[in-house]
Structures are given as structure tokens and as C-alpha cells.
Structure 1
Amino acid sequence: MKAFTILFFALALAAPAFGDVLNRCSLAREMSRLGVPRDQLARWACIAEHESSYRTYVVGPTNYNGSNDYGIFQINDYYWCQPADGRFSYNQCDISCDDLLTNDIEPSVRCAQKVLRMQGFSAWSTWHYCDGRLDSIDDCF
């Protein structure tokens, strides 16, 4: 029982290192602060909801090609970030995948914006949930 208690407290203290769980409004406000156009915020919130449930620390299951997806927007390590294990990556965002798993979402936002510029919102497999009328984010501000 003592070992369990120690393990429980060790994990509880380490939990903040694993990242945050945001919500629609906290994500929209932070992205707005980072300069993301307001007319995109509802779409980004929808993508984050469906990709990671607004969790910044998620590493998705291994994809068919051996790659993984990281962070709140589930950014793929084969194309966009460098995985810690040294596997090949095009690393188009010039970033470590671990930098996409922190409470600071700026690296994830910047990389996601690059994905958007290069491939559009359809780069996300959950896009079909977000392609259409979305709830307004106006109540977040």
C-alpha cells in the first residue's frame, strides 16, 4: 500500500508535465492571442475537439506507415515534426515532436498553420466533422 501511495503522488506531481486539457473557448482565446484569424477559430476548435479532445499531450496510435500524430492538433511526425527516436521525418515545421506536447500551444499552432497553408484543412482526417456550419466562438470573448 505504501508503494502505491508513493507512486500515486509521484504521478500526480508529474501530471502537469504531460500537458493541459483545454476547452473550446480557452483554445480559441489562446489562438486569437497568437494571431490566428478569428474566422478560423471555430474550425480549429472543431479539429482539436475531434483530434485530441483538446488534450495537448496526446500521442496518437501508430499509423499504417509507422508514423504517429502529436499534440492538440495531432500533427504527423513523418511530415511535420522530428520524433525523439530519430526516425526519418521531413520535419517541415522544423520542430521536435515533443515540443507539440506541452502546455505552451504556440509551437502546435504555428505548425498547424503551416500544414493549413500547404495542404488545407482537409489534411486532418477529422475534417469532415468541421466542414460546414459550426457553433460560433463569439461567446468565448
Structure 2
Amino acid sequence: MKAVLVICVLSVIVSSIHGRTMDRCTLAREMSALGVPRDQLDKWTCIAKHESSFRTSVVGPANSNGSNDYGIFQINNKYWCQPADGRFSYNECKLSCNALLTDNISNSVKCAQKIQRQQGWKAWSTWKYCSGSLPSISDCF
């Protein structure tokens, strides 16, 4: 019995370290439940696929300006979130960058929507893969 408990605890710890890898439909359903309009979900899932391979815990390598990108939508720490190391950030989403790395995607979704409202879809460099015709998301519901 103790062995089973230890294995359960370890699997929770490992999953929190490595984050969650979602799939297209899981992301679409969770975003819809958070109030994201269904007619945008094909675009958001495409961005997440190309930015992070649907992984919630990704921190991208340093950009040319020394900043990093966080989470499933690879949100930049110079402008949108506060890095843990105290570096300057405009922190427009008013949250810690670590809040973008959790399995609960609500902070990532809210911040990504703010970016999209202010800068449009082209705020993501991967938009070039998502700006054309995309597969319907309706098969996810």
C-alpha cells in the first residue's frame, strides 16, 4: 500500500515539473469552457501547436533581446509577464511568468487574448502557419 502511495505522489510531482501536453481538441474544449469564441479556436489551437507543441510548461530559449517566452502560447516576459528573476518587464498581463507554466491554462488564455486584442494574430511569429485555411474544430465538440 505504501508503494502505491509513493508512486502516486511521485507521478504528481513529475507531472507538475514537466507540465501537461494537451491535444488540439482538449485545448479547444478547455478554451471554449473559459469563454473563448468557437470561431477563434482553430486559430488558437494552431498557434499552440506551432509555439509549444501543446505543452503548458515550455520556456523558450532566449530571444535576441534576452527575453524568454512562456507557456502554451509562448508569451514574452519583456512585455506580458514578470519573470521570477526580477528582470524588468512591462508585465501588461499583471502576472508572474510562472503562472503561465501551470496545467491550469486560464492565465495563459486570458493573457493571450489580451495580446491578440492589442496586437492581432500577427503578434505570434507562427501566425504564418495559421493564417490560411485551417481544419474545422467542430469535430472536437
TM-score, normalized by the shorter chain, greater than 0.5: yes
Normalised to the residue count of structure 1, the TM-score between the two structures is 0.91
Counterpart for residue 83 of structure 2: 83
1:119 aligns with 2:88: no
Q: Distance in 2 between matches of 1:64 and 1:11?
A: 37
Give the C-alpha shift of residue 33 in structure 1.
0.2
Structure 1 residues 15 and 81, CA gap change in structure 2 (3 angstroms): same
Counterpart for residue 131 of structure 1: 131
**Structure 2 unaligned regions, length at least 5:** 1-8
- Number of residue pairs aligned between Structure 1 and Structure 2: 133
Q: Distance in 1 between matches of 2:75 and 2:44?
A: 13
Q: Distance in 1 between matches of 2:122 and 2:20?
A: 25
Residue correspondence of structure 1 range 1-141 to structure 2 within 5 A: 14-18=13-17, 19-141=19-141
What letter is aligned with 1:107?
A: N
What letter is aligned with 2:87?
A: R
SS of 2:29 mapped into structure 1: helix
SS of 2:59 mapped into structure 1: coil
Q: Runs of 4 or more off by more than 4 Å in structure 1?
A: 10-13
Give the C-alpha shift of residue 11 in structure 1.
7.2
Q: Distance in 2 between matches of 1:16 and 1:114?
A: 28
**Structure 1 unaligned regions, length at least 5:** 1-9
Give the C-alpha shift of residue 14 in structure 1.
2.5
Normalised to the residue count of structure 2, the TM-score between the two structures is 0.91
Q: Distance in 2 between matches of 1:11 and 1:68?
A: 29
